Amino acid sequence: MGFSSQENPSLYFFFFLLCLSTVSAYTNTSSNNGVEGGRRELASWRCNWFRGSWVYDVTYPLYDPYKCPFIDPQFNCKKYGRPDNLYLKYRWQPSSCSLPRFNGLYFLRKMRGKKIMFVGDSLSTNMWQSLACLIHSWVPNARYTLLRQKGLASLTFEDYGVTLKLYRTQFLVDLDAENVGRVLKLDSIKQGKMWRGMDVLIFNSWHWWTHIDHIQPWDYMEDGNILYKDMNRLVAYYKGMTTWARWVNAFVNPSKTKVFFNGVSPVHYDGRDWGEPMKSCKSQTQPFYGRKYPGGPPVAWVILNKVFRRLKKPVYWLDITGLSQLRKDAHPSAYSGNHPGNDCSHWCLPGLPDTWNVLFYSALFS
């Protein structure tokens, strides 16, 4: 195993061209459901569910946070003092069609005896707990078993044999403890053996790739049997997600397993992204209402767009980035039970992840 503190400059040039050639696709993809070679599928070929606006709906939220037993303190904004309620009342309305209303009983009956696994970081936890609450609100007296251990959680609705699993991994690729320290292996995905045998997989990864200093969970990156003390994080993300795509191509049987990727979840720490330079998500009470989000697409979205072209198996991309960028009001900010400071990266429950799950529900049963 070799060590290197240098990166190939051609990688940066390649990456620059990659981003330059794809950034314009953000608008085009938002208005076009076409799929090249069947390798990437948006949720509906009839209507772009990801292009639309947020509308006030008096029937929202879809469940009572005080009656759902699965919400972690980190996402339980009402319990920890958030005083406003308007952020709970917005429903996503596609421009040229309508999404089906989530029906938890229908979900349980259709998925009877099946296993669904969320694979990813704390945003996957956000979405997993949201789905659990959505289902529970329809069958509040149903028997369930909840098991949690380090890195893995499992919720089974016993009367239906439906299991919602959560596998926590920040990067999807392997993070191993070795003699030199903690090594993030950009070309290895041995932990994928834990994901096999599921009926549905929902992946997510981006949140941790840019962390530095004391919150960076690795000491070295490894690629091609060479150790790097650091690497351009966007290049590293591209390499890691390409490894994930190879895993899908090699190990997923589409006749047995449906695969989803929940797109890049945005943050709202910098008000310049929406035209309020001195502000963050703190004290925001309404969505951004402009026709186009000023901050533009995250570069991670551009990278995923390229990675999906490597897929040979069908993967449903839940392209939640644009609609989520509009929800600067939906973060816990100061109203989090175990996230000190101003949290503008996760989401309150009830809240935005419920819409992600309505989109997942729509795609799953379309």
Q: Which sequence positions are flagged as catalytic? A: 122, 343, 346
Q: Is 192 helix (H, G, I), strand (E, B) or coil?
A: helix
Q: Is 232 helix (H, G, I), strand (E, B) or coil?
A: coil
- Cβ-proximal residues to 57 (8 Å cutoff; 6+ apart), any chain: 89, 90, 91
Cβ(346)–Cβ(339) under 8 Å? yes
Alpha helices (runs of H) in the chain, residue ranges in sequence order = 9-22, 25-30, 104-110, 122-138, 233-251, 299-307, 321-325, 352-364
> How many Cβ atoms from other residues are within 10 Å of residue 315's Cβ?
23
d(CA 10, CA 306): 18
User: How many helical (H) and strand (E) elements, i.e. helices and strands, does the chain have?
Assistant: 8, 15
